[in-house]
Amino acid sequence: MITVDDVRAAAARIAGRVLRTPAITCDAVSRATGATVTLKLENLQATGAFKERGAANRLAMLSEAERRAGVIAMSAGNHAQAVARHASLLGINAVIVMPRHTPSTKVTRTAAWGARVVLHGDTLAESAEHAHALAAAEGLVFVHPYDDPGVMAGQGTLALELLEDAPDLDTLVIPVGGGGLIAGCAVAATAIKPGIAVIGVEVAAYAALAQRLAGQPVSVGGATIAEGIAVRDIGEAPLAVIRAHVADVLVVPERAVEEAIALLSEGAKQVAEGAGAAGIAALLAFPERFAGRRVGVPICGGNIDPRILANVLLRNLLRDGRLVRLVVECPDRPGVLADIAGCIGGAGGNIIDVSHHRLFASPSVQAAQLEVMFEARDPEHGAAIVRALEAIYTVRRL
């Protein structure tokens, strides 16, 4: 089991190689959650995620013979980029095995650091099996993304920095994939500040740690926006640390992760991927657990596909009523379309999209259906516009 001395040694080893990211108190997130929230902005790392810490430390520990042999890693993206970058900086050849469906942004950025990228398998487990086979065949050093003491110690440097910048924190909320980050941070945080609560966060589709701690068989799988923590198995080395130092593990629904991404984008002006926003998702999903507490949350990564980010923001606008989709039943006569548009525009709504169906969608040949989407200032404004339309037409909200 790693100790705080291992974490401090890692901090000295990676100094100057990894960005000392800022820790900021965020009013928008604090108001939304009822806690005083300090964000540790790991999305500002050169590769956009905290994984640089563990990769930099592990590669710095290689012997000369291991450096000459080269390294191999398996990852859904952030560990891949971190190993690729630090291998490049050290002049070490790197091979990265990634699942076939890894977002293209992460594949492209990994290759840009000079690594040889191999796409294999539909899951991290399948990628890992192939990576081990390649390591044996080519004599490469396997750099595990989380089940490795050097990697865990490197990730723990995040907590060292965070508590130096915000020593009054009483809670850390840490996303959990394979467990390397929370293990390293828990060792550091509980040594520096005994009594601090370290709480893990998993998404519902991949709650392997919660299941292990509850003594249940592990059953994970399914689509998730938090693919960076969509891990089938918790590492055995991190699990031992977690059992000793972590207070609780919370499981959040997919919707909470999307809401967290939107809150960080609009409120904190920070781009976060799903896994990177999972800590904030826990605060949104379990506000009673954190009300009045001083909470530190790492924004673990910002490598989100632009299309996915755009879809998340639009879905959030629909959910909170600032984007409104309606079907309006109206008579099929001249001027009706202009009247509906005037009603929305006159009330201050901004029409985004209109689809007019006259022939097949309406119940009567004398009627038409209008599908309209408009933007409102806030939910109350949107509801007022809908009421104005309902006074004249039959309206169904989508």
Percent of the chain at pLDDT > 90 equals 85
Q: Is 370 helix (H, G, I), strand (E, B) or coil?
A: strand
- Could you report the per-residue pLDDT of 245-284, keeping only the tens digit for each? 999 999 999 999 999 999 999 999 999 999 999 999 999 9
The confidence band for 358, taking pLDDT boundaries of 50, 70 and 90, is low
Pick one of 3.30.70.260, 3.60.21.10, 3.30.565.10, 3.40.640.10 as the CATH number of 321-397: 3.30.70.260
pLDDT of residue 350: 96
How far is residue 277's CA from residue 275's CA, in Å, rounded to a whole number? Answer: 5
How wide is the angle at C-alpha 225 spanned by C-alphas 154 and 237, nearest 5°? Answer: 30
Domain 52-142 has CATH 3.40.1260.10: no
- Could you report the per-residue pLDDT of 366-381, keeping only the tens digit for each? 788 889 999 999 999 9
Q: Is residue 13 exposed (0-12), middle (13-18) or buried (19+ Cβ within 10 Å)?
A: buried
- Could you report the per-residue pLDDT of 221-231, keeping only the tens digit for each? 999 999 889 98
Element (H, E) at 171: strand 171-175
For the full predicted model, state whether its pTM sits above 0.85. Answer: yes
The confidence band for 353, taking pLDDT boundaries of 50, 70 and 90, is very high
Mean pLDDT for all residues in the chain: 94
> Which CATH architecture best describes the domain 4-50+149-315?
3-Layer(aba) Sandwich (3.40)
Q: Where do you find CATH 3.40.50.1100 in the chain?
A: 4-50+149-315, 52-142
- Could you report the per-residue pLDDT of 52-107, keeping only the tens digit for each? 999 999 999 999 999 999 999 998 778 999 999 999 999 999 999 998 887 777 78
- Could you report the per-residue pLDDT of 96-125, keeping only the tens digit for each? 999 888 777 778 888 999 999 999 998 777
